[in-house]
């Protein structure tokens, strides 16, 4: 039953954030999105949802927004998220992700916000010892991006300990797919995610793919990664919110098995009925053969169950959206 409560979603015009906004709005909650639209899209926000165009660096704006009535919670998606870029500009990532995140957390504490959900990352784990990652894996980020999220997780732990701000940190690898009703999808500039790149190759919108190595210790020699449907991720954020009564929580969020690069290509070929041109290139430095996260704790504690577990089902929603939106949201 919808509770009609108010939520602030930072980065709510972005890929994962916009799907979380849809999930909140679909259940009848009142949602305000704060986004500077540098990476997000106004067209991704459904009607009836307030958009405030601005940045977390604008402390006056944050103060004004949080002072306007009571907020049931804040869902924080706004961040830079490219691992390779963070290796080139580490201080920029610490300032944009960590420092601005600290400001938001502090403002939430001062304005009496009691629940905070962080869109975290499995990049916290760098090169983990185990190939299937649980919440107990050591946090040893292999990039400034991962480190910037780890810093936010630590800040939230102290915010709970000192001020009672309950938080949920959700760590996931690869969001994939699109809203099954076609209301939102994936539109990045530049696009770096595998599934939309493979779809674009199938549709002839880009040259063939270059696979980074086919001699890894995996069944077909290509790297295995985790993919979770973006709408299932959104639902997981809502389920995590429900746990924030008397404690904070941390959840890894993954499929538990993952798919190889070649498996993704074959899936796109099955869904689209088109051949995907590709070639085999050299390995990319630092790529582990397999990275997969478990979500057993989330399932056990919240009852979360993904609707889209089959790779073909995930790809089908991504293909439908991308085929219908050849220019994405058309605002670049």
Active site residues: 145
Cβ–Cβ < 8 Å for 304, 254: no
DSSP sequence for 257-306: S-EEHHHHHHHHHHHHSS---EEEEPPPTT--SEEEE--HHHHHHH----
Count how many Cα atoms sit within 13 Å of the Cα of residue 195 in the half-sphere of its side chain: 30
Bridge-based pairing of strands 227-229 and 290-293 is unpaired
Please state the φ and ψ torsions of residue 234, each to the nearest 5 degrees: -60, -45
Cα 76-80-85 angle, rounded to 5 deg: 160
CA dihedral 149, 256, 40, 242 (to 10 degrees): -80
Angle at 294 between CA 177 and CA 220, to 5 degrees: 70
Q: Which of 238, 246, 231 is nearest to 318 (CA)?
A: 231
Closest CA to 292 of 260, 262, 261, 257: 257
Q: How many CB atoms lie within 10 A of CB 269?
A: 15
Read out DSSP for 27-79? TT-EEEEEE-SSSS-GGGSPTT-EEEE--TT-HHHHHHHHHSS--SEEEE---
Q: Provide Rg for the chain, Cα atoms.
A: 19
């Amino acid at each position: 039953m919808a509770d009609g409560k108010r939520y602030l979603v930072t980065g709510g015009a972005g890929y994962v954030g916009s799907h979380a906004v849809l999930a909140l709005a679909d259940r009848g909650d009142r949602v305000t999105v704060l986004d500077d639209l540098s990476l997000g899209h106004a067209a991704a926000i459904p009607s009836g949802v307030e958009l405030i165009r601005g940045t977390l660096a604008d402390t006056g704006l944050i103060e004004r927004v949080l002072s306007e009535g009571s907020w049931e919670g804040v869902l924080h998606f706004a961040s830079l998220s490219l691992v390779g870029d963070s290796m080139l500009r580490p201080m920029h990532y610490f300032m944009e992700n960590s420092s601005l995140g600290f400001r938001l957390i502090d403002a939430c504490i001062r304005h009496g916000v009691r629940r905070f959900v962080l869109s975290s990352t499995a990049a916290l784990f760098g090169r983990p010892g185990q190939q299937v990652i649980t919440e107990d894996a050591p946090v040893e980020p292999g990039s400034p991006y991962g480190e910037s999220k780890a810093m936010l997780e630590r800040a939230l732990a102290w915010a709970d300990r000192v001020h009672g701000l309950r938080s949920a940190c959700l760590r996931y690898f690869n969001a994939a797919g699109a809203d099954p009703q076609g209301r939102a999808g994936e539109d990045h500039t530049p696009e770096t995610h595998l599934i939309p790149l493979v779809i674009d190759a199938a549709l002839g919108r880009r040259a063939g793919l270059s696979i980074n190595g086919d001699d890894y210790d995996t069944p077909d020699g290509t790297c295995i990664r985790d993919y979770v449907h973006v709408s299932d991720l959104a639902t997981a954020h809502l389920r995590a919110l429900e746990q924030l009564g008397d404690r904070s929580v941390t959840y890894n969020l993954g499929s538990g098995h993952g798919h190889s690069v070649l498996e993704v290509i074959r899936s796109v070929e099955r869904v689209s009925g088109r051949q995907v041109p590709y070639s085999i290139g050299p390995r990319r430095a630092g790529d582990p053969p397999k990275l997969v996260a478990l979500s057993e704790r989330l399932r056990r504690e919240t009852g979360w169950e993904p609707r889209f577990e089959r790779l073909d089902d995930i790809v089908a929603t991504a293909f439908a959206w991308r085929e219908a939106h050849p220019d994405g949201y058309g605002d670049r």
